[in-house]
Chains A and B, each alone.
Chain A
Amino acid sequence: MINARSLMKILVYAILVVSLIAFITPFLLIIINAFKTNAQIIESPLSWPTSFNFDNFFVSMKEMSYFHCFTNSLLITFGSVLLIGVFAAMTAHYFVRNKTKTNNLLFFAMVASMIIPFQAIMIPLVSLYGAKLGWIQTVPKSTLIFMYLGFGSPLAVFIYHGFIKSIPLELEEAAFMDGCNRRQTFFRIILPILMPTTVTIGILNVLWIWNDFLLPLLVLQNAGRESYTLPLAIQVFKGTYTTDNEKFLPAVLLVILPILIIYLFAQRFIIQGVTQGSVK
């Protein structure tokens, strides 16, 4: 006899599997169609490719300057994340250990600023750094990193702040007794302890910056194709009315593959990092 319990279990599995198909199918379809010609894609988008042709991958790579853009994405992402991590940790540490009026006010301003969405300041941002200062025209990529540091700091300071509060002050006093000064204490004692939090912040920021579209669009769009990040580069294949799918799909795959491969190996860390980052 099938009892209610096992019936329930079958129902649960059914829901999970149907959801799984819904979540995975789009990616699978991109993969199988990336090896087809335009005619084959229109003819039978659902069928398995008859042959695995990598030619279009090379064409796409060349047309979107894949290696340039990949390097740009890499440099901008890791440059920004590194700066955010180090500077935010320093600031948060100082805020926790020196609760002066100024520091409390600065910390409050940073936390409060998190409610401001990017769209609310993108117009003045571009006006200031483009038309007024000219940074966007002269040093677009560095300007972009500078901006990511600004937009990424508040959350990072906030998360570090929460963690540093739980580090016993005695630890720092002991280091102080042993002759460390402020800076040595921070870099030799505190920063290593912060490692798990740094990983969390790193993951959150890598996912954001690597995939970000609107800010790089505003800062890099006039800097020439060689300066694009991957999300900008992929647009090369989008026409106004049509899409050249046999080049576009390989390009999509080339853009999403690096992060999917990392996910295969680090999914536990990534999911953990995202959870810790958003629950705080």
Chain B
Amino acid sequence: MIAEKNRMKRLGNQVFFTGPTVLVFTAVIIIPFLYGIYLTFFSWDGISSSMPFVGGSNYVEVIQDSKFWASVWLTIKYVLATVILINGVAFLLAYLVTNGIKGENFFRAAYFTPNLIGGLVLGFIWQFMFNNLFTAIGDKTGLDLFSKTWLGDENLAFWALVIVTVWQYAGYMMVIFIAGLMSLPKDVMEAAKIDGANGWKRLSRMVLPLMVPSFIVTIFLSLQRGFMVYDVNYGLTGGGPFGSTVMASMFVYDKAFIRFDYGAGQAQAFVLFLLAALITITQVYLGKRMEVEA
């Protein structure tokens, strides 16, 4: 081991190599995280110098705030729909573009494209699609579904959000699935084929169980992003119509930065974080137990 004999020299290197990262990491993540917990016990508008201690009343407010819980329930519905659809679509696409078909790379690259662009702009692009294109199709074909913009209807606006999210992330998760599919043991798959297992059997009995590690990653990512969705929400529906699609992140943002209630806003953010962390950790734990070896 290259250990410095001189204590001062060792300290110097420690500071030189790890100092900048540790300092900034502490200043940007650790301190705000702790300060955030502290904030939840105070009432503050973000500007004034007086910041009275209010004990647990922010948390009481969070528990009683039915609008907050409505946004949390909506987010849970949204997470459920998007996680299932993203993973379903992504796995299907990954499976189809790893079978030695012509133009595989082209298809992969095309499906991945939305991930190069931020959620805000994607939301804007799809807003244009829903408001201009789909209504034009509705006019031409007389289809009832497209007669009015989806974004003006409380129920359809939710599904518009789900569709755009699936469109946004399916290509990303596909890439992860492709990596998993490529590393499946070829000899085992070959053996199954020779033993007479048909395509469906190979998929359900061998490929899917062996792909559990990939699913752990993709479900984790889609859960985490779903719970914290903001950009697409803001770009596509802006929370409308009539506040019907305000997801939890947007609710928290508005609480703090538009209604200037920092203490209660942070208490909500903290509750949301705990909820999301609990669910993602459970998911990873359950997923690990389902892993098998070839």
Q: Report, as a range, how many residues of chain B touch the other chain.
A: 35 or more
Contacts A88-B21, A259-B117 given; does A29 touch B13 at CB 8 Å: no
Q: Which residues of A contact B47 (CB under 8 A)?
A: 131
**How many whole Å from A92's CB to the nearest CB in chain B?**
9
Stretch at the interface among A63-71, A142-150, A194-202: A142-150
Q: Which residues of B contact A118 (CB under 8 A)?
A: 228
The list of the 5 closest CB pairs from A to B, nearest first, reads A150-B28, A211-B118, A94-B17, A120-B273, A124-B36
Contact mask for chain A residues 21-52; partner B; CB cutoff 8 A; 1 contact, 0 none: 01110110110010000000110111000000
Q: Which residues of A contact B227 (CB under 8 A)?
A: 117
A213 in contact with B118 (CB, 8 Å)? yes
- The reply to whether the CB of A275 lies closer than 8 angstroms to some CB of chain B is yes
Contact mask for chain B residues 219-231; partner A; CB cutoff 8 A; 1 contact, 0 none: 0010010011011
B46 in contact with A15 (CB, 8 Å)? no
Chain A interface, DSSP helix/strand/loop, else mixed:
helix
- The reply to whether the CB of A90 lies closer than 8 angstroms to some CB of chain B is yes
- The reply to whether the CB of B53 lies closer than 8 angstroms to some CB of chain A is no
Known A87-B21, A98-B14; 12 more pairs at CB < 8 Å: A44-B136, A109-B25, A115-B280, A119-B272, A120-B273, A123-B262, A150-B25, A151-B28, A154-B25, A231-B121, A275-B179, A278-B175
- The reply to whether the CB of A279 lies closer than 8 angstroms to some CB of chain B is yes
Which A residue's beta carbon lies closest to that of B23? A150
Q: How far, in angstroms, from A6 to B139 measured CA to CA in the complex?
A: 39
CB proximity to B under 8 Å, residues A109-138? 109-110, 113, 115-128, 131
B46 in contact with A131 (CB, 8 Å)? yes
Q: How far, in angstroms, from A98 to B281 measured CA to CA in the complex?
A: 30
A150 in contact with B175 (CB, 8 Å)? no
Stretch at the interface among B77-85, B106-114, B153-161: B106-114
Size of interface on A: residues with Cβ below 8 Å to B = 93
A residues contacting B by CB (< 8 A) are 9, 12-13, 15-16, 19-20, 22-24, 26-27, 29-30, 33, 41-42, 44-46, 87-88, 90-91, 93-95, 97-98, 103, 106, 109-110, 113, 115-128, 131, 146-147, 149-151, 153-154, 157, 169, 172-173, 176, 182-183, 185-186, 207, 210-214, 218, 231, 234, 238, 243, 245, 248-249, 252, 255-256, 259-260, 263, 267-268, 270-271, 274-275, 278-279
A42 in contact with B132 (CB, 8 Å)? yes
**How many whole Å from A258's CB to the nearest CB in chain B?**
10
B residues contacting A by CB (< 8 A) are 1-4, 13-14, 16-18, 20-22, 24-25, 27-33, 35-36, 38-39, 44, 46-47, 92-93, 96-97, 99, 101, 105, 107-121, 124-129, 132-133, 136-137, 167, 171-172, 175-176, 178-179, 214, 217, 221, 224, 227-228, 230-231, 234, 249, 252-253, 256-257, 262, 265-266, 269-270, 272-273, 276-277, 280-281
**How many whole Å from B37's CB to the nearest CB in chain A?**
9
B116 in contact with A260 (CB, 8 Å)? yes
| A128: contacting residue among B35, B97, B273, CB under 8 A | B35
Q: Which residues of B contact A126 (CB under 8 A)?
A: 46, 257
Q: Which residues of B contact A106 (CB under 8 A)?
A: 18, 22
Q: Which residues of B contact A19 (CB under 8 A)?
A: 93, 107, 111
Q: Which residues of B contact A13 (CB under 8 A)?
A: 101
**How many whole Å from B109's CB to the nearest CB in chain A?**
5
Q: Which residues of A contact B101 (CB under 8 A)?
A: 9, 12-13, 16
Contacts A29-B133, A182-B2, A279-B179 given; does A259 touch B116 at CB 8 Å: yes
B178 in contact with A213 (CB, 8 Å)? no
